[in-house]
Amino acid sequence: DKGPYRHYMLKEIFEQPESTARTIGAYVNAVDQTAQLPNEQELDFTSFDRVYIIACGTAYYAGCVAKYWFEKYAKLPVETDIASEFRYREPALSKNALAIFVTQSGETADTLAALRYCQENGLTTAAVVNVPTSTIARESDAILPTLAGAEVGVASTKAFTAQLCSLASLAVIAGRARGVLTEKDETHLTEQLMQIPGRITEALKVENAAKELAVDLSKARDVLYLGRGTMFPIAMEGALKLKEISYIHAEGYAAGELKHGPIALIDENTPVVMIAPTDPLLEKTISNMQEVAARHGKVLLITDENGAKVGADTPAWTLIAPSCDPFIAPILYSVPIQLLAYYVAVEKGTDVDQPRNLAKSVTVE
């Protein structure tokens, strides 16, 4: 049932205050402000020398965000891999690694094959998974549930932010176990996690602005998404969302790579979406934005109040997201890129919930 919403995708975007609250509630104890694995499971993070995160599509981008978290908050080296590449590459594996598989359905063929490969090689495995009865959930050593609820729209939205919530919680758990985070750090970070649902409610207020500028954006043939740090995978996810449902060609790039190639694409017909919350990298991203503007590229800046002031004159359009600790920014900034893709697709009149050629669960390779 879509309720008052025109598409499941929009309904699922608007469910994110509840779906993230459920997922965070499974990992964070609100009373003592600590994080732990659900269902009394244990993973000995002091025994792991590295983490492999393996997934496909949107779930892979969640893993790419998690790499930044695990390395920063737990000082654990992370390798991210696309499951279809990993399984055939003959990867050199550390026996002391934790392999994490991120999957909404728990049935993706390549991800399942990668899980079995890791188990044959004696690694500890964990699944960040939305369907607890799925094959990948059943076959993994630990289950890290995402409690997004059933996702009907083929383009993943609430499952993605739930994956980010599980992985963020896991990074805090790992950081604490490894002595990288103090009790005070854990309190601070769990407080940030608990703020996510409320901040998502605020972020959803960009809906009308996204709808308005979708009219212009829907005329583009190509769109570039740029971001730094955790906003780099969010840029890739934004581009994937746009191409999946609007059929506009889009690419996500690390903003610092602009000069190394993609800047050649910039002209007045190639809009650039810059995702730039206030963090230590803001100034650098703003200067990338000015380089784009100097080549007559139209910029859509997605930022907070402060970023909008710093960036002021340059962007053609701005979407304002809530200000927040950089830790949770990738979760909040997922919302404007979802709404943008959604309204561009609506503007183009495509079949939003059932985009052409795509299946919700890819059980053949």
- The residues carrying an active-site annotation are 360
Complex with ligand F6R: residue 166 or 285, whichever CB lies closer = 166
In the complex, the smallest distance separating the C-beta of residue 166 from ligand F6R, rounded to whole angstroms, is: 13
Kindly provide the b/e burial profile for residues 233-266, where b requires at least 16 CB atoms within 10 angstroms of the residue's own CB: bbbbbbbbbbbbbbebebbbbbbeebeeebbeeb
C-alpha to C-alpha distance for 22 and 158, rounded to whole angstroms:
11
Shortest Å, Cβ 60 to ligand F6R: 7
Q: How far is the CB of 72 from ligand F6R (least distance, A)?
A: 24
Q: Which residues bind ligand F6R (CB under 6 A)?
A: 56-59, 103-105, 108, 111, 155-156, 240, 244, 361-362
By Cβ distance, which residue is nearest to ligand F6R?
57
Of the pair 107, 304, the CB lying nearest ligand F6R is at: 107
Q: How far apart are CA 90 and CA 114, in angstroms?
A: 11
Of the two residues 72 and 243, which places its CB atom closer to ligand F6R in the complex? Answer: 243
What does the DSSP assignment read for 306-330?
HHHHHHTTS-SEEEEPPP--TTTHH
CA distance 301 to 311: 8
Choice between 316 and 362, CB closer to ligand F6R: 362
Sign of CA dihedral 28, 233, 69, 300: negative
Shortest CB 330 distance to ligand F6R, Å? 16
Write the burial class of residue 21 (CB in 10 Å: 0-12 exposed, 13-18 middle, 19+ buried): middle
